[in-house]
Structure 1
Amino acid sequence: MTNPRAERVRAVRALAGRSARQRSGRFVVEGPQAVREAVLAADVQDLYVSEASAQRYPEIVRAARGREIRVHTGTAEVLEAMSPDGQQVVAVAALASPSLGSVLAQAPRLVAVLAHVRDPGNAGTVVRAADAAGADAAVLTAQSVDVHNPKVVRSTAGSLFHLPVVTGVDLAPAIAALRAGGLTVLAADGSGAHDLDDLLDVSGAAPDGVPDLARPTAWVFGNEAWGLRDEDRALADAVVRVPIRGRAESLNLATAATVCLYASSRAQR
C-alpha cells in the first residue's frame, strides 16, 4: 500500500468518527500496545503495519497471522494517514457489545460503573484500572463517552480486550440489575457518609448498616466536573468517600476510581 489517499486508507481513518463506526460495525485500534492485546483477544479483521513497524514488533505480526488476521504492509505515509497516533501499527476490529445480562450470568464480584463520564482519557483509564484490580466488568452508561472512541481505546492500553465493557445502558435499570445479581452498589463521592479506610478496617466483618467491601460490589463513578447527581447517589446502597489526608481539594475521577477498585480487590482477596 503506497497511496495515502486510497479508499481503504480513508475508510480506516473515518473510523475515528462514531457514525462511521456505527455504519460499518468496526472500530480502529491504534498503537503497538493496544494492537498487541487486540490481535490476541479481539475480533480483529485487519492489521496494518509499515515495513519498519513490522520489524520492530514482529510478535504482533506473528500473532495476527497465527489467528488468520489479514496483514497489510504500507508505507510510513500510508500508516500516518490512517492514524497519526498509531505509531505505524493499526488494526481494525469488529465492535463488541456484551450485555449486562451476560456479565451477571458469570456472577461477577467487582464491577466498575461509569455514569455520565465524558472524557475519553478518564474513561479509558478507569477501564484499565478495573482490569488491573481484577474487576469482572465495566459498565458505561448511555450518557458516557463511546468506549470505541480512539482516544478511549488508546487510554485503556489494551484492557478493553481483557474484560467485558457494557455500553449504552441507563443508570437506574443497570443499578437495579446489579443489585438483583447480588452486588452491593456503592457510589464514590466526596460527600459520602462512609470513609473508605474505615470500610477496609471492617471488611469481612462489617456491622449491620455498614457496607462490606468483601462482598460482591459495583462501584459507581460520576462525571469529571460535577460528580454524581443527587438522584444517582440515591440509587446506591451507600455513598463512600476517599479520605484526603493532605491539602488537595479533591482527587480526579480516574485516581479516585483506582483507589476504590483496589480497596475492594484487597478486601475480596
Structure 2
Amino acid sequence: MSNPQPLTAGNSRVKEARKLSRRSVRSERRLFLADGPKAVEGALERPSRVVEVFATPAAAAEYADLLADAPVTLVDDRALASLSDSVTPAGLVGVVRFLDVALNRGFWQVEPRVGAPRAVHSDRLFAICADVRDPGNAGTVLRCADAAGADGVVLAGDSVDAYNPKTVRASVGSLFHVPLAVERDASVAVRAAKDAGLTVLAADGGGEVDLFEADDLVGGNVVWLFGNEAWGLPPELAELADHRVRIPVLGRAESLNLATAAAVCLYASAKNRRS
C-alpha cells in the first residue's frame, strides 16, 4: 500500500482523480476512472495501463489477491464515494490510461486476443457504432462484441465517450478485452474497413437482405455498422455499406433496441465464422 492512513475526500490526489469525471479532463489527460472490482480486474490484465487504484481498507482486504501487485492508495469511504459513479460503491476505483488505438490498417488485422477462450478465426469480425449516444448501449455493444468473439469495435461520429463511467460499467469489463478505436468521422471508419478488405453490413430495418437468409454473407470478413438509437443510420452513411441487412420482426414489436440488434447481428456472424 502506498499510504498507511486512508486519504480523505479533501486530499489533493483524490480531488485530482475526481476531475476525471469530466470528459474534457479525461480527454486532456487520457485517463479515466474504472469503478468497481470487475473494471479494476480488467484494467490490471495489463498492469502498465493502471496509474493508481483507490481502495477502502475493507475492499483492499477483500480483494487482496487482485491488488497484490497494484499501486494501491487507501482512502476512506467518503473519498471513495466521491470517485465512484455507483449508487453503492464496491470500494475500488482505478485511474487507468486510455485504451483506444489508432484506426489504421493494423487495427483491422486479426491477432490472438489475450485470454480469449476461442480459437483464432481466419475471418474477421468488427463493429462500427455511428452516433451511438447512450452510454448503456455503447457499453452493452462492447460486451456483446466481446462475447461474440469480435476482433474490434469503433466508436464513430458523435458517439458517447467510451470512458464515460456508465459506458465502462455497462461493458462489465469488456472495454478492457476488445480492441477499441475512436473516429470522429463515421464515413472515414467505414471506408477504412472496406479498404482493409472487410464487407460492411449496415443493420437497417429497411434493408434489402433478410438476416435469416444471409448465412454466407455474414460469415466472411465482416464489419457491422450500427446507427443511432433513435434515428438509425443517415442515408449517406448507409449507402457506403456493401449491404443493408434487416432483422426480421416476427411478432408485433415495432423494432429491436440497438444493443439487442447488435447482439443478434454479431452472433449471426459468430455462428458462421470459419475456423
TM-score, structure 1 length as denominator? Answer: 0.90
Question: What pairs with 1:70-219 in structure 2 (closer than 5 Å)?
Answer: 70-85=71-86, 86-101=89-104, 102-106=106-110, 109-200=124-215, 203=216, 212-219=217-224
1:16 maps to 2:21: yes
Identity %: 44
Q: What runs of 5+ residues in structure 1 fail to find an aligned partner? A: 204-211
Matched residue SS, 2:214: helix
Determine helix, strand or coil for the equivalent of 1:186: strand
The equivalent residue for 2:115 is: none
How far the C-alpha of 1:84 sits from its partner, in A, is: 4.3
The amino acid of 2:29's aligned partner reads S
Q: Assess if the C-alpha contact under 8 Å between 1:143 and 1:168 holds in 2.
A: no
Counterpart contact for 1:113–1:220, Cα < 8 Å: yes
Name the count of aligned residue pairs.
Answer: 254
Q: Which runs of 5+ in 2 are unaligned?
A: 1-5, 112-122
Deviation at 1:105, TM superposition (A): 4.0
TM-score, scaled to structure 2? 0.88
Q: Could you list the per-position Cα deviations for residues 242-265 of structure 1 after superposition, in whole angstroms to 9, with x for gaps in the alignment?
A: 111111111000000000000001
Secondary structure, in 3 states, of the residue corresponding to 1:263?
helix
Change (3 A) 1:91 1:264: same
Distance 2:83 2:195 in 1: 44
Q: Which amino acid aligns with 1:58?
A: A
Counterpart of 1:209 in structure 2 is none
On the 8 A contact 1:190/1:240 being kept in 2, the answer is: yes
DSSP-derived class of the 2:51 partner: strand
Structure number with higher helix proportion: 1
User: 2-side partners of 1:133 and 1:120: how far apart?
Assistant: 20
Matched, 1:57 2:57: no
- Aligned partners of 1:87 and 1:130: how far apart in 2? 26
